């Protein structure tokens, strides 16, 4: 991207200017968009700029949500020695320099970091120029970027209690995770029509995260004959890499309403249609399941820092608010558990009752309250 792309002229009549940085997965992107939407609802003339990582999904998802985005050439460290790791320090240096150009030209009143590769350079550039900054940490185990930058920022909005082990206690605000406001508002009749489903048959929703999940995809592919035999309808979000294979596998069951979908944009309708959900236990997925009060089977990913998805899942399963199947057990056990749950309305109702109180529907509002306080403080300082 040319250097000129990092010189962004702000709207001189905007009531405020905010940069939101981060991404990589839907678990970072959708909370970021929820924050932007709430800020723009309150301040329609707010000037909001996103900063992401080139080649990552935010570079398409954010424009689809109606916001402009600038991409940095930044990526994470690999777990093994690779040429990319040798280039990592250079990429960080270049990204911080380019983020500095953005901050100096756009002159934000505040910066928000939601985690992901692009978050660190922007937060470093902003805080070194005395721009107020807020971090939103989605998980029960804090990400490396957020831990490293915690003492540089003004506020840290978290979704779980006990985060003092990672962050300065005086900067913490327990908010929950921002969830798209429309996620719990889907109408079941509209949803069934939208996906072409039979209202007289149960619906299973499988979501492995925005990038897909190999374990869930393999287990679901193996279970397709059982689903057809049981008369269960399927909405199966596969992710981009697995979709061509899954599409072919589901095509063998035409007429059974077993739908493989690369990505589900209308998640409000997917949740509304579903009787039971199989899901990874990422922070955003857990927050959405609590808000929609869906009976669910959680399969935590083992490929995350400090196994935080298992911690997320146990926060529900120990309250009898979700069922837990480990990744290692999924091939043999997952669809036994899911089909048993689909055939047990009493158990579904029990899980719904127990998961609903764990929702934090005001999370986005509380986070934007904190953001507006930083904006107003910065504007007042600039007016002196």
Structural domains of the chain, with CATH: 3-178+361-383 (3.40.50.2000), 182-358 (3.40.50.2000)
d(CA 130, CA 125): 9
Residue 267 has pLDDT above 80, yes or no: yes
Token pair in block for residue 30: 């959708």
Distances (CA, A) of 259 to 4, 194, 265, 274, 287: 44, 12, 14, 13, 25
> What pLDDT shows up at residue 77?
46
Interval 111-127: pLDDT, tens: 999 988 789 999 999 99
Quick one: average pLDDT of 318-337? 97
Whats the size of the chain, residue-wise?
384
Strand order across the 17-21 sheet: 68-72, 47-53, 17-21, 110-113, 133-137, 155-158, 172-174
Does pLDDT of 180 surpass 90? no
Q: How many CB atoms lie within 10 A of CB 104?
A: 13
Which residues fall in the annotated binding site?
Answer: 25-27, 139, 180, 210, 264, 283-288, 309
**Angstrom distance (rounded) from CA 186 to CA 136:** 26
Three-state SS letters, the chain: CCHHHHCCCCCCCCCCEEEEECCCCHHHHHHHHHHHHHHHHHCCCCEEEEEEECCCCHHHHHHHCCCEEEEECCCCCCCCCCHHHHHHHHHHHHHHHHHHHHHHHHCCCEEEECCCCCHHHHHHHHHCCCCCEEEEECCCCCCHHHHHHHHHCCEEEECCCCHHHCCCHHHEEECCCCCCHHHHCCCHHHHHHHHCCCCCCCEEEEECCCCCCHHHHHHHHHHHHHHHHHCCEEEEECCCCCHHHHHHHHHCCCCCCEEEECCCCCHHHHHHHCCEEEECCCHHHHHHHHHHCCCEEECCCCCCHHHHHHHHHHHHHCCCCCEECCCCCHHHHHHHHHHHHHCCHHHHHHHHHHHHHHCCCCHHHHHHHHHHHHHHHHHHHHHC
Per-residue confidence (pLDDT) for residue 379, from 0 to 100: 84
For residue 323, give every residue at least 6 positions away whose Cβ sits within 8 Å of its Cβ, in sequence order, or none.
296, 297, 298, 317, 337, 341, 351
**pLDDT over threshold 70, residue 377:** yes
What's the pLDDT band for 85 if we cut at 50, 70, 90?
very low
Rounded to 10 degrees, the C-alpha dihedral 291/324/285/25 comes to 170
Binding residues for UDP-N-acetyl-alpha-D-glucosamine: 25-27, 139, 180, 210, 264, 283-288, 309
Query: Residue 143: pLDDT band by 50, 70, 90 thresholds?
Result: confident
Among residues 156, 236, 208, 211, the alpha carbon closest in space to that of 29 is found at: 211
Reading the block at residue 381, the tokens are 């300082």
Give the per-residue pLDDT at 211.
65
88: pLDDT confidence band, cut at 50, 70 and 90? low
Q: Is the pTM of this model over 0.85?
A: no
């Amino acid at each position: 991207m040319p250097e000129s792309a990092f010189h962004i002229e702000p709207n001189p009549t905007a009531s405020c200017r905010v940069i939101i940085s981060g991404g990589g997965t839907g678990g970072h992107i959708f909370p970021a968009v929820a924050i932007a939407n709430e800020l723009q609802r309150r301040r329609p003339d707010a000037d909001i700029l996103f900063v992401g990582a080139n080649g990552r999904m935010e570079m398409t998802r954010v424009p689809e949500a109606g916001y402009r985005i600038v991409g940095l050439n930044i990526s994470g460290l690999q777990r093994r020695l690779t040429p990319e790791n040798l280039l990592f320090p250079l990429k960080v240096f270049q990204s911080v320099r380019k983020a500095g150009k953005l901050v100096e030209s756009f002159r934000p009143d505040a910066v928000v970091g939601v985690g992901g590769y692009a978050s660190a350079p922007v937060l470093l550039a902003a805080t070194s120029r005395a721009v107020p900054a807020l971090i939103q940490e989605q998980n029960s185990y804090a990400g490396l970027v957020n831990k490293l930058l915690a003492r540089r920022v003004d506020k840290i909005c978290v979704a779980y209690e006990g985060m003092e082990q990672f962050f300065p206690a005086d900067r913490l605000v327990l908010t929950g995770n921002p969830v798209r406001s429309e996620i719990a508002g889907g109408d079941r009749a509209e949803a069934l029509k939208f996906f072409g489903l039979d209202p007289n048959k149960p619906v299973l929703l499988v979501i492995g995260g925005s990038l897909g999940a190999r374990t869930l995809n393999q287990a679901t592919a193996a279970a397709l004959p059982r689903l057809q035999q049981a008369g269960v309808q399927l909405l199966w979000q596969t992710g981009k890499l697995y979709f061509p294979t899954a599409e072919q596998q589901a095509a063998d069951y035409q007429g059974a309403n077993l739908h493989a979908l690369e990505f589900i944009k209308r998640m409000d309708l997917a949740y509304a249609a579903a009787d039971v959900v199989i899901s990874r236990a990422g922070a955003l997925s857990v927050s959405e399941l609590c808000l929609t009060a869906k009976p669910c089977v959680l399969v935590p990913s083992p490929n995350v820092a400090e196994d935080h998805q298992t911690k997320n899942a146990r926060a529900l399963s120990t309250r009898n608010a979700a069922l837990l199947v480990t990744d290692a057990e999924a091939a043999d056990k997952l669809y036994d558990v899911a089909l048993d749950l689909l055939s047990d309305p009493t158990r579904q109702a029990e899980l719904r009752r127990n998961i609903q109180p764990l929702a934090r529907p005001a999370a986005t509002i509380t986070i934007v309250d904190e953001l507006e306080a930083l904006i107003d403080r910065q504007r007042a300082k600039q007016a002196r």
